[in-house]
Structure 1
Amino acid sequence: MTRRDIPNLISVFRLLLVLPIAYLLYEKQLGFALTLFVVAGISDGVDGYLAKRNDWASGLGAFLDPLADKTLLITSYLVLGWIGLFPLWLVVAVISRDAIIVIGSLAYFVLIGRVEMSPSIISKVNTGAQIALVVMLLLTSIFGGLEAIIEPMAYIVFATTLLSGMDYVWVWGKKAWQNRSQPQ
Protein backbone atom coordinates (compact mmCIF):
# COMPACT_ATOMS: atom_id res chain seq x y z
CA MET A 1 0.00 0.00 0.00
CA THR A 2 1.34 3.38 -1.04
CA ARG A 3 0.22 6.99 -0.89
CA ARG A 4 -1.14 6.56 -4.43
CA ASP A 5 -3.80 4.28 -2.92
CA ILE A 6 -5.21 6.96 -0.62
CA PRO A 7 -7.91 8.19 -3.06
CA ASN A 8 -9.09 4.61 -3.62
CA LEU A 9 -9.19 3.95 0.13
CA ILE A 10 -11.26 7.11 0.57
CA SER A 11 -13.69 5.86 -2.11
CA VAL A 12 -13.94 2.51 -0.31
CA PHE A 13 -14.58 4.41 2.94
CA ARG A 14 -17.41 6.28 1.19
CA LEU A 15 -18.87 2.99 -0.02
CA LEU A 16 -18.73 1.66 3.54
CA LEU A 17 -20.71 4.69 4.75
CA VAL A 18 -23.68 3.82 2.52
CA LEU A 19 -25.19 1.14 4.79
CA PRO A 20 -24.95 3.18 8.01
CA ILE A 21 -26.47 6.17 6.21
CA ALA A 22 -29.29 4.01 4.84
CA TYR A 23 -29.97 2.55 8.28
CA LEU A 24 -29.97 5.98 9.94
CA LEU A 25 -32.31 7.38 7.29
CA TYR A 26 -34.65 4.41 7.65
CA GLU A 27 -34.69 4.81 11.43
CA LYS A 28 -35.25 8.57 10.95
CA GLN A 29 -32.06 9.42 12.80
CA LEU A 30 -31.74 12.29 10.38
CA GLY A 31 -29.11 14.31 12.25
CA PHE A 32 -26.69 11.39 12.32
CA ALA A 33 -27.56 10.51 8.72
CA LEU A 34 -26.89 14.09 7.64
CA THR A 35 -23.53 14.09 9.42
CA LEU A 36 -22.40 10.89 7.67
CA PHE A 37 -23.81 12.11 4.34
CA VAL A 38 -21.76 15.31 4.63
CA VAL A 39 -18.66 13.29 5.58
CA ALA A 40 -19.25 11.14 2.48
CA GLY A 41 -19.62 14.27 0.36
CA ILE A 42 -16.42 15.77 1.71
CA SER A 43 -14.60 12.49 1.11
CA ASP A 44 -15.69 12.63 -2.53
CA GLY A 45 -14.04 16.01 -2.93
CA VAL A 46 -10.92 14.94 -1.07
CA ASP A 47 -10.30 11.77 -3.08
CA GLY A 48 -10.75 13.61 -6.37
CA TYR A 49 -8.50 16.45 -5.26
CA LEU A 50 -5.74 14.08 -4.12
CA ALA A 51 -5.93 11.98 -7.28
CA LYS A 52 -5.69 15.01 -9.57
CA ARG A 53 -3.21 17.08 -7.56
CA ASN A 54 -0.75 14.25 -7.04
CA ASP A 55 -1.31 12.40 -10.31
CA TRP A 56 -2.67 9.41 -8.38
CA ALA A 57 -5.56 8.70 -10.75
CA SER A 58 -6.02 5.02 -11.50
CA GLY A 59 -8.35 2.68 -13.34
CA LEU A 60 -9.58 1.34 -10.02
CA GLY A 61 -10.29 4.86 -8.82
CA ALA A 62 -12.13 5.68 -12.04
CA PHE A 63 -14.40 2.75 -11.20
CA LEU A 64 -14.66 3.13 -7.40
CA ASP A 65 -15.36 6.87 -7.24
CA PRO A 66 -18.51 6.94 -9.40
CA LEU A 67 -19.63 3.61 -7.91
CA ALA A 68 -19.44 5.09 -4.42
CA ASP A 69 -21.22 8.27 -5.53
CA LYS A 70 -24.05 6.46 -7.31
CA THR A 71 -24.47 3.88 -4.56
CA LEU A 72 -24.73 6.63 -1.96
CA LEU A 73 -27.22 8.70 -3.95
CA ILE A 74 -29.42 5.85 -5.17
CA THR A 75 -29.57 4.31 -1.69
CA SER A 76 -30.37 7.67 -0.11
CA TYR A 77 -33.13 8.38 -2.63
CA LEU A 78 -34.59 4.88 -2.21
CA VAL A 79 -34.71 5.11 1.57
CA LEU A 80 -35.98 8.70 1.61
CA GLY A 81 -38.71 7.63 -0.82
CA TRP A 82 -39.51 4.56 1.28
CA ILE A 83 -39.98 6.61 4.45
CA GLY A 84 -42.09 9.15 2.57
CA LEU A 85 -39.74 12.12 2.48
CA PHE A 86 -39.20 12.00 -1.30
CA PRO A 87 -41.99 11.57 -3.86
CA LEU A 88 -42.08 8.31 -5.78
CA TRP A 89 -41.85 10.07 -9.17
CA LEU A 90 -38.50 11.59 -8.18
CA VAL A 91 -37.08 8.32 -6.87
CA VAL A 92 -38.18 6.53 -10.05
CA ALA A 93 -36.59 9.23 -12.24
CA VAL A 94 -33.24 9.12 -10.40
CA ILE A 95 -33.03 5.32 -10.42
CA SER A 96 -34.27 4.99 -14.01
CA ARG A 97 -31.68 7.45 -15.31
CA ASP A 98 -28.84 5.54 -13.68
CA ALA A 99 -30.24 2.18 -14.79
CA ILE A 100 -30.46 3.41 -18.39
CA ILE A 101 -26.85 4.64 -18.23
CA VAL A 102 -25.59 1.33 -16.81
CA ILE A 103 -27.57 -0.78 -19.31
CA GLY A 104 -26.48 1.49 -22.17
CA SER A 105 -22.81 1.33 -21.20
CA LEU A 106 -22.96 -2.46 -20.90
CA ALA A 107 -24.63 -2.70 -24.32
CA TYR A 108 -22.01 -0.36 -25.78
CA PHE A 109 -19.22 -2.44 -24.27
CA VAL A 110 -20.66 -5.71 -25.61
CA LEU A 111 -21.56 -4.40 -29.07
CA ILE A 112 -18.90 -1.77 -29.75
CA GLY A 113 -16.03 -1.96 -27.28
CA ARG A 114 -14.45 -0.11 -24.41
CA VAL A 115 -16.46 2.61 -22.71
CA GLU A 116 -14.63 5.70 -21.48
CA MET A 117 -17.19 7.99 -19.93
CA SER A 118 -16.58 11.37 -18.50
CA PRO A 119 -19.43 13.31 -16.92
CA SER A 120 -20.92 16.15 -18.93
CA ILE A 121 -21.61 19.54 -17.41
CA ILE A 122 -25.32 18.76 -17.07
CA SER A 123 -24.42 15.48 -15.35
CA LYS A 124 -22.22 17.31 -12.84
CA VAL A 125 -25.01 19.85 -12.26
CA ASN A 126 -27.44 16.96 -11.78
CA THR A 127 -25.24 15.22 -9.22
CA GLY A 128 -24.76 18.48 -7.34
CA ALA A 129 -28.51 19.14 -7.38
CA GLN A 130 -29.27 15.61 -6.17
CA ILE A 131 -26.82 15.99 -3.28
CA ALA A 132 -28.10 19.47 -2.42
CA LEU A 133 -31.69 18.20 -2.31
CA VAL A 134 -30.79 15.41 0.13
CA VAL A 135 -28.90 17.85 2.36
CA MET A 136 -31.66 20.49 2.26
CA LEU A 137 -34.37 17.89 2.92
CA LEU A 138 -32.48 16.55 5.93
CA LEU A 139 -31.76 20.05 7.25
CA THR A 140 -35.43 20.99 6.84
CA SER A 141 -36.59 17.78 8.50
CA ILE A 142 -34.27 18.41 11.45
CA PHE A 143 -34.54 22.18 11.90
CA GLY A 144 -37.54 23.27 9.84
CA GLY A 145 -37.86 26.61 8.14
CA LEU A 146 -36.87 25.67 4.59
CA GLU A 147 -39.96 23.67 3.60
CA ALA A 148 -40.89 26.10 0.81
CA ILE A 149 -37.76 25.33 -1.22
CA ILE A 150 -37.90 21.52 -1.08
CA GLU A 151 -40.62 21.08 -3.71
CA PRO A 152 -39.05 23.49 -6.24
CA MET A 153 -35.68 21.80 -5.65
CA ALA A 154 -37.30 18.41 -6.30
CA TYR A 155 -38.59 19.68 -9.65
CA ILE A 156 -35.14 21.04 -10.50
CA VAL A 157 -33.57 17.66 -9.67
CA PHE A 158 -36.23 15.96 -11.79
CA ALA A 159 -35.42 18.26 -14.72
CA THR A 160 -31.63 17.87 -14.43
CA THR A 161 -32.06 14.11 -14.05
CA LEU A 162 -34.07 13.92 -17.28
CA LEU A 163 -31.75 16.28 -19.16
CA SER A 164 -28.57 14.49 -18.09
CA GLY A 165 -30.12 11.11 -18.89
CA MET A 166 -31.13 12.32 -22.36
CA ASP A 167 -27.65 13.79 -22.80
CA TYR A 168 -26.00 10.44 -22.06
CA VAL A 169 -28.39 8.61 -24.40
CA TRP A 170 -27.76 11.14 -27.18
CA VAL A 171 -23.97 11.28 -26.84
CA TRP A 172 -23.47 7.54 -26.45
CA GLY A 173 -26.11 6.66 -29.02
CA LYS A 174 -24.28 8.88 -31.50
CA LYS A 175 -20.91 7.28 -30.61
CA ALA A 176 -22.41 3.81 -30.96
CA TRP A 177 -23.85 4.67 -34.37
CA GLN A 178 -20.52 6.10 -35.56
CA ASN A 179 -18.53 3.11 -34.25
CA ARG A 180 -21.03 0.34 -35.02
CA SER A 181 -18.92 -1.30 -37.71
CA GLN A 182 -15.57 -0.72 -36.02
CA PRO A 183 -15.35 -3.06 -33.00
CA GLN A 184 -12.48 -2.02 -30.76
Structure 2
Amino acid sequence: MNLPNRLTAARIFLVPVFLAILSLKVPYGDYIAAGVFILAASTDGLDGYIARKRKMVTRLGKFMDPLADKLMVSAALIALVELNRLSGWVAVIIIGRELAVTGLRSVAAAEGVVISASKLGKIKTVSQIIAIVAMFLHDFPFNMIQIPFGNLAMGVAVGFTIWSGMDYIMRSWYLLKKEA
Protein backbone atom coordinates (compact mmCIF):
# COMPACT_ATOMS: atom_id res chain seq x y z
CA MET A 1 0.00 0.00 0.00
CA ASN A 2 1.51 3.31 -1.06
CA LEU A 3 1.69 6.47 1.08
CA PRO A 4 -1.44 8.18 -0.28
CA ASN A 5 -3.50 5.04 0.33
CA ARG A 6 -2.09 4.74 3.85
CA LEU A 7 -3.14 8.35 4.53
CA THR A 8 -6.63 7.56 3.26
CA ALA A 9 -6.76 4.43 5.45
CA ALA A 10 -5.65 6.55 8.41
CA ARG A 11 -8.57 8.92 7.74
CA ILE A 12 -10.96 5.97 7.85
CA PHE A 13 -9.34 4.70 11.06
CA LEU A 14 -9.67 8.14 12.71
CA VAL A 15 -13.46 8.21 12.24
CA PRO A 16 -14.24 5.77 15.08
CA VAL A 17 -11.52 7.46 17.16
CA PHE A 18 -13.19 10.88 17.11
CA LEU A 19 -16.61 9.26 17.57
CA ALA A 20 -15.37 7.34 20.62
CA ILE A 21 -13.88 10.48 22.12
CA LEU A 22 -17.18 12.32 21.65
CA SER A 23 -19.19 9.51 23.22
CA LEU A 24 -16.90 8.88 26.20
CA LYS A 25 -17.55 12.33 27.67
CA VAL A 26 -13.90 12.81 28.64
CA PRO A 27 -12.74 16.25 29.85
CA TYR A 28 -12.24 18.51 26.84
CA GLY A 29 -13.50 15.62 24.71
CA ASP A 30 -15.13 17.92 22.16
CA TYR A 31 -11.84 19.75 21.65
CA ILE A 32 -9.87 16.51 21.39
CA ALA A 33 -12.44 15.12 18.94
CA ALA A 34 -12.18 18.33 16.91
CA GLY A 35 -8.40 17.90 16.82
CA VAL A 36 -8.71 14.31 15.63
CA PHE A 37 -11.28 15.40 13.03
CA ILE A 38 -8.93 18.16 11.80
CA LEU A 39 -6.10 15.63 11.58
CA ALA A 40 -8.31 13.28 9.57
CA ALA A 41 -9.53 16.10 7.32
CA SER A 42 -5.98 17.27 6.66
CA THR A 43 -5.11 13.89 5.17
CA ASP A 44 -7.77 14.45 2.49
CA GLY A 45 -5.91 17.03 0.46
CA LEU A 46 -2.53 15.59 1.31
CA ASP A 47 -3.22 12.08 0.00
CA GLY A 48 -4.49 13.39 -3.33
CA TYR A 49 -1.62 15.84 -3.69
CA ILE A 50 1.00 13.16 -3.04
CA ALA A 51 -0.74 10.65 -5.32
CA ARG A 52 -0.83 13.08 -8.24
CA LYS A 53 2.61 14.63 -7.63
CA ARG A 54 4.40 11.28 -7.33
CA LYS A 55 2.20 9.52 -9.91
CA MET A 56 0.92 7.09 -7.29
CA VAL A 57 -2.78 7.21 -8.23
CA THR A 58 -4.31 3.73 -7.83
CA ARG A 59 -7.74 2.17 -8.28
CA LEU A 60 -7.79 1.45 -4.56
CA GLY A 61 -7.12 5.11 -3.84
CA LYS A 62 -9.80 6.26 -6.28
CA PHE A 63 -12.26 4.02 -4.44
CA MET A 64 -11.15 4.65 -0.85
CA ASP A 65 -10.62 8.43 -0.96
CA PRO A 66 -14.22 9.50 -1.64
CA LEU A 67 -15.47 6.76 0.67
CA ALA A 68 -13.25 8.04 3.48
CA ASP A 69 -14.46 11.62 2.92
CA LYS A 70 -18.11 10.65 2.99
CA LEU A 71 -17.64 8.44 6.03
CA MET A 72 -15.80 11.17 7.93
CA VAL A 73 -18.31 13.93 7.19
CA SER A 74 -21.38 11.71 7.60
CA ALA A 75 -20.17 10.33 10.93
CA ALA A 76 -19.48 13.84 12.23
CA LEU A 77 -22.88 15.13 11.12
CA ILE A 78 -24.71 12.19 12.67
CA ALA A 79 -22.76 12.68 15.91
CA LEU A 80 -23.69 16.37 15.94
CA VAL A 81 -27.37 15.46 15.46
CA GLU A 82 -27.11 12.93 18.29
CA LEU A 83 -25.52 15.58 20.51
CA ASN A 84 -28.45 17.93 19.68
CA ARG A 85 -26.14 20.49 18.09
CA LEU A 86 -27.41 20.08 14.54
CA SER A 87 -30.86 19.66 13.05
CA GLY A 88 -31.41 16.34 11.37
CA TRP A 89 -32.58 17.96 8.13
CA VAL A 90 -29.16 19.57 7.69
CA ALA A 91 -27.46 16.19 7.95
CA VAL A 92 -29.99 14.68 5.52
CA ILE A 93 -29.33 17.40 2.92
CA ILE A 94 -25.56 17.00 3.13
CA ILE A 95 -25.52 13.20 3.25
CA GLY A 96 -28.23 13.01 0.57
CA ARG A 97 -26.14 15.18 -1.75
CA GLU A 98 -23.15 12.91 -1.19
CA LEU A 99 -25.20 9.83 -2.05
CA ALA A 100 -26.70 11.51 -5.13
CA VAL A 101 -23.30 12.57 -6.48
CA THR A 102 -21.88 9.10 -5.77
CA GLY A 103 -24.77 7.58 -7.72
CA LEU A 104 -24.24 10.04 -10.55
CA ARG A 105 -20.55 9.14 -10.67
CA SER A 106 -21.49 5.45 -10.81
CA VAL A 107 -23.78 6.05 -13.79
CA ALA A 108 -21.03 8.05 -15.48
CA ALA A 109 -18.43 5.36 -14.78
CA ALA A 110 -20.69 2.76 -16.39
CA GLU A 111 -20.64 4.96 -19.49
CA GLY A 112 -16.85 5.28 -19.33
CA VAL A 113 -17.02 8.89 -18.16
CA VAL A 114 -15.07 10.12 -15.14
CA ILE A 115 -16.67 12.95 -13.17
CA SER A 116 -13.84 14.48 -11.21
CA ALA A 117 -14.25 16.74 -8.23
CA SER A 118 -15.01 20.31 -9.22
CA LYS A 119 -13.60 23.42 -7.57
CA LEU A 120 -17.08 24.04 -6.19
CA GLY A 121 -17.11 20.52 -4.72
CA LYS A 122 -13.79 21.20 -3.01
CA ILE A 123 -15.11 24.48 -1.58
CA LYS A 124 -18.14 22.54 -0.33
CA THR A 125 -15.88 20.06 1.47
CA VAL A 126 -13.79 22.79 3.11
CA SER A 127 -16.92 24.67 4.22
CA GLN A 128 -18.36 21.48 5.73
CA ILE A 129 -15.14 20.77 7.62
CA ILE A 130 -14.98 24.32 8.99
CA ALA A 131 -18.64 24.14 10.09
CA ILE A 132 -18.23 20.73 11.73
CA VAL A 133 -15.12 21.82 13.62
CA ALA A 134 -16.86 25.02 14.78
CA MET A 135 -19.74 22.95 16.10
CA PHE A 136 -17.42 20.52 17.88
CA LEU A 137 -15.71 23.53 19.49
CA HIS A 138 -19.01 25.11 20.59
CA ASP A 139 -18.20 28.16 18.42
CA PHE A 140 -14.93 28.85 20.27
CA PRO A 141 -13.56 31.57 20.20
CA PHE A 142 -16.59 33.29 18.64
CA ASN A 143 -18.81 32.28 21.57
CA MET A 144 -16.98 34.85 23.71
CA ILE A 145 -18.56 37.61 21.63
CA GLN A 146 -21.91 35.84 21.16
CA ILE A 147 -21.48 34.97 17.46
CA PRO A 148 -23.06 31.62 16.50
CA PHE A 149 -20.22 30.89 14.06
CA GLY A 150 -20.97 27.16 13.83
CA ASN A 151 -24.56 27.75 12.74
CA LEU A 152 -23.51 30.45 10.28
CA ALA A 153 -20.74 28.25 8.88
CA MET A 154 -23.13 25.30 8.59
CA GLY A 155 -25.57 27.51 6.69
CA VAL A 156 -22.79 28.39 4.26
CA ALA A 157 -21.85 24.70 4.00
CA VAL A 158 -25.45 23.72 3.22
CA GLY A 159 -25.54 26.43 0.55
CA PHE A 160 -22.36 25.14 -1.09
CA THR A 161 -23.62 21.56 -0.71
CA ILE A 162 -26.80 22.32 -2.64
CA TRP A 163 -25.02 24.50 -5.20
CA SER A 164 -22.29 21.95 -5.92
CA GLY A 165 -24.83 19.12 -6.09
CA MET A 166 -26.87 21.04 -8.65
CA ASP A 167 -23.65 21.81 -10.55
CA TYR A 168 -22.78 18.10 -10.76
CA ILE A 169 -26.28 17.28 -11.97
CA MET A 170 -26.28 20.04 -14.60
CA ARG A 171 -22.82 19.09 -15.87
CA SER A 172 -23.92 15.45 -16.14
CA TRP A 173 -27.47 15.98 -17.35
CA TYR A 174 -26.71 14.39 -20.71
CA LEU A 175 -25.90 11.12 -18.94
CA LEU A 176 -29.14 11.19 -16.99
CA LYS A 177 -31.20 11.99 -20.10
CA LYS A 178 -29.49 9.13 -21.89
CA GLU A 179 -30.68 6.73 -19.19
CA ALA A 180 -34.30 7.92 -19.46
Q: Is the shorter-chain TM-score for this pair beyond 0.5, marking a shared fold? A: yes
Whether contact under 8 Å (1:21, 1:37) holds in the other structure is yes
Whether contact under 8 Å (2:107, 2:175) holds in the other structure is no
Show the counterpart of 2:4. 7
Q: Report the Cα distance in structure 2 between the residues aligned to 1:108 and 1:13, rounded to whole angstroms.
A: 28
Identify the match of residue 114 of structure 2 among 113, 116, 123.
Answer: 116
Paired residues, number: 175
Q: CA deviation at 1:56?
A: 1.2
Whether contact under 8 Å (2:132, 2:150) holds in the other structure is no
Whether contact under 8 Å (2:108, 2:115) holds in the other structure is no
Whether contact under 8 Å (1:31, 1:142) holds in the other structure is no
Distance change >3 Å, CA 31–CA 97, structure 1 → 2: same
Whether contact under 8 Å (1:126, 1:164) holds in the other structure is yes
Show the counterpart of 2:127. 129
Deviation sequence 1:66-115 (CA, Å, 0-9, x none): 11111100111111111111122211111111122233334455xx5234
Whether 1:23 aligns to 2:14 is no
Q: CA deviation at 1:24?
A: 2.1
- Counterparts of 1:144-155 in structure 2, within 5 Å, are 144-145=143-144, 147-155=147-155
- Read off the aligned partner of 1:63 and give its amino acid letter: F
Show the counterpart of 2:173. 173
Show the counterpart of 1:140. 138
Show the counterpart of 1:99. 99
- Counterparts of 1:32-47 in structure 2, within 5 Å, are 32-47=32-47
In structure 2, stretches of 5+ residues that fail to align are: none
Q: CA deviation at 1:127?
A: 0.5
- Relative to the length of structure 1, the TM-score reads 0.83
Q: CA deviation at 1:138?
A: 2.0
Q: CA deviation at 1:155?
A: 1.4
| Greater mean alpha carbon deviation, residues 33-42 or residues 68-77 | 33-42
Deviation sequence 1:25-75 (CA, Å, 0-9, x none): 334521221121111122223212211221111222111111111110011
Q: CA deviation at 1:176?
A: 3.9
Q: Report the Cα distance in structure 2 between the residues aligned to 1:108 and 1:53, rounded to whole angstroms.
A: 26
Deviation sequence 1:107-159 (CA, Å, 0-9, x none): 455xx523412111211111110001011222235664364222221211111
In structure 1, stretches of 5+ residues that fail to align are: none
